[in-house]
Every structure is written in structure tokens, then in C-alpha cells.
Structure 1
Amino acid sequence: MNSFFGSLVVITLAGCRATNCPDNFLAFHGSCYLFGDTKLSFYEAEHYCNQHGAHLVHVNSAIEDDFLKEHLRRLKPFDVWWMGLTDEVAEGHYVWTDDNTPAQYTGWHPGQPDGGGEDCVVFSTSWDFQWGDYGCTHTEGFICETESGEEVFG
């Protein structure tokens, strides 16, 4: 008898990860990201994200910021992308729209934010996707984020 058929093959899932990201969302470190394919104002973009069970992206760390920048460099359909950070309530006091907390991590371009009625924050190709403040009514690309419901097996 062939020894191949007499062997028991065991496959383990130790350390494997599965995500529950919605369709068209990209998984990374416990979150799911949707890179919008149309241009919307800051408010329209936040509403769009909310309709899809998400919010405008909340950048927590340099690792997350680098992941987003690398993806935007490859994507390239728009020059400017909304994130969920604004100082609309109090000038110079930037808070995240999803939980109203002050920004702990930031990736500002030198000289930014520069105020002047620019209350919303973007990634800009002009500055290799460093952050800048921008007028909220402009229509730009956007990034939505939600938790992935990531599971680890094993």
C-alpha cells in the first residue's frame, strides 16, 4: 500500500488570523479600512463612513500612520484624503470624531496646522501624506475605519 495514503495529515491553525472586515475593507492590526473611491466633504465622508458601520480614520500610532501612507502612495487616485480629526469646536484643540478624544499621536507636516478657518485634517500628497489642516467643505478622498473583530486561532 502506498505510504502517502496510509499517513495522517494534521493541519493546525495555531497563530492564524481571520478577520471579519466588511467587503472592500482592508485589514491591518485589528482594524478594517475603506479607502473611498469618490470625493466628499469632511461631513459627507463621516456620514458615509457611519452608514457603513465605521468612522473617518482615527490614527493612533506611527505604525498605523505608515501603513496608511504606504497604501495611499500605491492607490494614487486623489491628492488629499480626509481623516477623522478636527478643531472645529475649539481652534487649535484637535479631537477625533469617533470618540471626541484629543490627538495623542500626530503626523503634521512642518508649519501645520496653520489655522485660518481650516478645521479638518487631511493626508496630502504634496507633503508625502503628512498631515495638514484643510477647509472642511472641500471635496476630497477619505478613509473609513472600523474594528475588525479579528480572531486568533490556536
Structure 2
Amino acid sequence: MNTNPTLIVCLSCRKSSSIAASSARRTSFAKDSATAPHNSCARSPTLTSAWQAGMQLQLLDSTCSGQVTSKGFLRYGDKAYRHFASSKTHWDARNSCWNVNASLAVPLNAGENAFLASLVNTGTFWILADDATTEGVWVNTDTSDPLPYARWIVGQPDNAGGTEDCAEITYQALWNDLPCTLSRYYACEIPVAQCDQLKDDIRCSYLL
């Protein structure tokens, strides 16, 4: 089923802590773990007017949920997310996330699904799910792993026209299938849990 994208709410503030790193790939990202206790979850008071005006996120777990980084990624549980108001095909959206050392977002449970949808107040955006290899078997597009969670609109996925192999999520936290070649906004994710454990992952630089 085809739907149309609209505008987003952008969030931005500075994370209070930093993460140590040693990889040569990350030398361009300055870090100083001494500036704050490791895994500090204090939220900066300088949130955007959109948040202050009453945008309410359903924070279901993790003491760090709702923390916004200086590069616009919003933390929830084991991940941090950022929505991008740039229309791209599913493939190009994946590439754009890779270009910021992230991956296209995909919710793996109800909590992540609700939080990801809450990044916008209307419209839809791509998630990292497709059934291009085997019709009706929805997998993580990057890993080909079967998805442990899905929340489809009633009557979806319907593979209308025989070409709807990619998935989008609505602001109501419901999924829909549509052709991968259509253009949609998108959201990227990074692995906060790995960064908290000081794992050497270039994606952690976007938590600073």
C-alpha cells in the first residue's frame, strides 16, 4: 500500500558523557572519557522548542532513554536513533545511514517500534526490512536474519502489484509494504549498548 511522507520533528542537544576509543578509523572523532562518569545519562536542558511544546515520547525502559546526542541521535534502550527528512529509495536510505556510520533502523520489539515511530508526528519512513528474496518472509535487509517482531497495518503486507518488497513504518507505529524504488524519509540507528561497553565501533562516535 502506497502512502506519502511528510515533515518531522528534529531534536538536538549535547550528550553529557563521552566514550573512549582506540581504533585508527576513529581518530577524527575527539573523545575525552574523563569529562564525565562513564555511561552518564544526564539530559541537557537545552532541548528544542518542539520537545518543550509537548512532544511526549513513550520511554519504556533504560535509564538513558530520551537522551539526545550532539549529532541528533536520540537514545532508547540499546540503540540510538535519528530521523532524516530526505526522501530516498530504500537502497539509498541504507547507503545514507552507512555514510554516517549507522544502519537503517529496524525495531526488534514493541518498545523500539513505539519509540521509533514517535520520532515523527505524521507520515511514514523506511525501516530495514524486506521480503525480496522469499515473498512473505520478512528479514533484516543487511543481515538476512528473520525479523523477531512486526506490526503490520490490517490487511498488510499485501504485495500490491507484485512489487512491494520493502517496509515503512507510520507515525502510528504500524508497518506497510511498498516498492523499494519509491522515495521515503528514513531513520538510522547506532548500537548504544556496544558503546556503553567500550566496544571499538566507529558508530559510537555519533554518540558524542
TM-score range, shorter chain: 0.7 to 0.9
Q: Does 1:40 align with 2:84?
A: no
Structure 1: runs of 5+ lacking an equivalent? 1-12
State the Cα distance separating 1:93 from its structure 2 match.
1.0
Tell me which protein shows more strand as a share of its residues: 1
Corresponding residue for 2:41? 17
Between the aligned partners of 2:174 and 2:147, the Cα distance in structure 1 is 15
Pick from 120, 141, 147 the counterpart of residue 72 of structure 1.
120
Corresponding residue for 1:117? 163
Between the aligned partners of 1:130 and 1:146, the Cα distance in structure 2 is 22
Q: Is the 8 A contact 1:17 1:150 kept in 2?
A: no
Query: Which consecutive segments of 4 or more residues in structure 1 shift more than 6 A?
Result: none
Q: Is the 8 A contact 2:152 2:175 kept in 1?
A: yes
CA RMSD of aligned residues (A): 2.4
Q: Is the 8 A contact 2:165 2:180 kept in 1?
A: yes
TM-score by length of 1: 0.77
Corresponding residue for 2:11? none
User: Secondary structure of 1:38's match?
Assistant: strand
- Partner AA of 1:138 in structure 2: L
Q: Larger Cα Rg: Structure 1 or Structure 2?
A: 1
Identical pairs, percent = 27
State the Cα distance separating 1:22 from its structure 2 match.
6.7
TM-score by length of 2: 0.58
Q: Does 1:90 align with 2:114?
A: no
Q: How does 1:123-142 map to 2 (within 5 A)?
A: 123-125=169-171, 128-142=172-186
Corresponding residue for 1:10? none
State the Cα distance separating 1:21 from its structure 2 match.
5.5
Corresponding residue for 2:48? none
Structure 2: runs of 5+ lacking an equivalent? 1-36, 43-66, 198-208
